[in-house]
Amino acid sequence: MGEHPSPGPAVAACADAERIEELEPEAEERPPVAPEDHWKALFDQFDPGNTGYISTGKFRSLLESHSSKLDPHKRDVLLALADSHADGQICYQDFVNLMSNKRSNSFRQAILQGNRRLCSKALLEEKGLNLSQRLIRHVAYETLPREIDRKWYYDSYTCCPPPWFMITVTLLEVAFFLYNGVSLDQFVLQVTHPRYLKNSLVYHPQLRAQAWRYLTYIFMHAGIEHLGLNVVLQLLVGVPLEMVHGATRIGLVYVAGVVAGSLAVSVADMTAPVVGSSGGVYALVSAHLANIVMNWSGMKCQFKLLRMAVALVCMSMEFGRAVWLRFHPSAYPPCPHPSFVAHLGGVAVGITLGVVVLRNYEQRLQDQSLWWIFVAMYTIFVLFAVFWNIFAYTLLDLKLPPPP
């Protein structure tokens, strides 16, 4: 979960046997070994005394001897790391991080505190890029605040796997909406149809023991106006974030926002049902906006102030629509319209777990103390909500709407 889901090679691909053999002296045929064993064997060639360190001079010579096989941006990054070690040595763990493209905190600090600045020009100044390269560069500037990370992502991204999670979720939401629209013969404000809540995907307080409803409610939307904004935000914000941070991390934030949204409704708006993917969408968008604000000077996306204002206006309009609908007289009393509290649950996840994920590109989340603090807070909330759902409804003697 803490690893970047689709890292590209930093110097040479672990699975590229030919390139590894070039770095090893006349290797005979041998059974396959783990990638880290390859790095250990290579490291030991430069560390005959088994001290756990090699000189930066030897490391630099290795890079220069194979510079023709390296992308220019990667070579610059690695040379900056070699120059940044004031003690003239590189430890084995940093070496493995380099060769496997898993950059630790010490690796990032070594680059940022290097003795010289990277001499290559910024990505924006690159000319002659094809359409796919321009798209990758655009995504890098949309999501990453550091030039060193943007270059690393630009060189490492292979579109394998593609951003399948957000696209799959979006297609499923559209498919379920169209199916319901045809079966109910209603596409605008479907939630006002008397048979709408009979769907087994909707979260309903009387059916809260059916645990799948805390997640599957995202496939049901109040109407085309509700679905439209969620789909647009998922594609414009969620897909670029997944391209950079991977399906595992972005899927984690999205699902955490969805579950937090339904649990928040079950605690704070106990008599209302829940529909729509706003919990997950608001988790991603709020995390992205918070990351932009926290790294304002480093984010180089165009018209960022205007675009932030537009995003906030759209989110506010959607939230206002949800509040209005919640308190609008129900078409099928005594059951109220769906709750708006799921939006707030998503925002809470976005500005906690989501921000930590987006601020640690290719860094291991398990090494971040803030990550564990927010994971603990989220776990406590989930446990509290579970016990609340088990005991509070009976103790408070609430009058819940009848089951659909």
Comparing CA positions, the residue from 249, 246, 277 lying closest to residue 164 is 246
φ and ψ at residue 107, rounded to 5 degrees: -65, -45
User: What pLDDT does residue 85 have?
Assistant: 55
Q: Is the dihedral of CA 175, 177, 181, 183 positive or negative?
A: positive
Which residues sit opposite 89 in a β-bridge?
Answer: 55
Amino acid (one-letter) located at 239: V
User: DSSP secondary-structure letter at 236?
Assistant: I
| 404 residues of the chain, pLDDT tens digit each | 444 444 443 333 333 333 333 343 333 344 444 455 666 776 777 777 777 777 777 777 766 666 555 556 556 666 666 665 556 677 776 666 665 555 555 455 544 444 334 445 567 777 778 888 889 998 999 999 888 788 878 878 888 889 999 999 999 999 999 999 999 988 888 888 888 988 999 999 999 999 999 999 999 999 898 999 999 999 999 999 999 999 999 999 999 999 999 999 999 999 999 999 999 999 999 999 999 999 888 888 878 888 899 989 989 999 999 999 999 887 767 778 899 999 999 999 999 999 999 988 877 788 788 999 999 999 999 999 999 999 998 898 888 888 87
Q: How far apart are CA 337 and CA 329, in angstroms?
A: 8
Alpha helix segments (H runs only) across 86-194: 92-100, 105-112, 131-143, 147-156, 164-184
162: which 2 tokens?
A: 């593609």
Coil, strand or helix at 373: helix
Contacts of 204 (CB under 8 A, 6+ apart): 197, 213, 273, 401, 403, 404
Task: Answer for the pair 173, 148: CB distance below 8 angstroms, yes or no.
Answer: no
User: What pLDDT does residue 38 have?
Assistant: 64
Q: Is the dihedral of CA 196, 202, 203, 209 positive or negative?
A: positive
What is the per-residue burial (b if ≥16 Cβ within 10 Å, else e) of 240-260?
bbbbbbbbbbbbbbbbbbbbb
Q: How far apart are CA 50 and CA 281, in angstroms?
A: 51
User: DSSP secondary-structure letter at 338?
Assistant: P
Q: How far apart are CA 239 and CA 17, in angstroms?
A: 33
Q: Which residues are catalytic?
A: 278, 343
pTM of the model: 0.75
Comparing CA positions, the residue from 161, 150, 89, 160 lying closest to residue 123 is 150
φ and ψ at residue 358, rounded to 5 degrees: -70, -25
Comparing CA positions, the residue from 319, 137, 344 lying closest to residue 244 is 137
201: which 2 tokens?
A: 């995907």
User: What pLDDT does residue 31 have?
Assistant: 43
Q: What's the gap between Cα 63 and its chain centre?
A: 32
Angle at 12 between CA 101 and CA 51, to 5 degrees: 70
User: What pLDDT does residue 118 have?
Assistant: 44
Q: How far apart are CA 135 and CA 219, in angstroms?
A: 30
183: which 2 tokens?
A: 């079966």
Topology of domain 164-396 in CATH is: Rhomboid-like fold (1.20.1540)
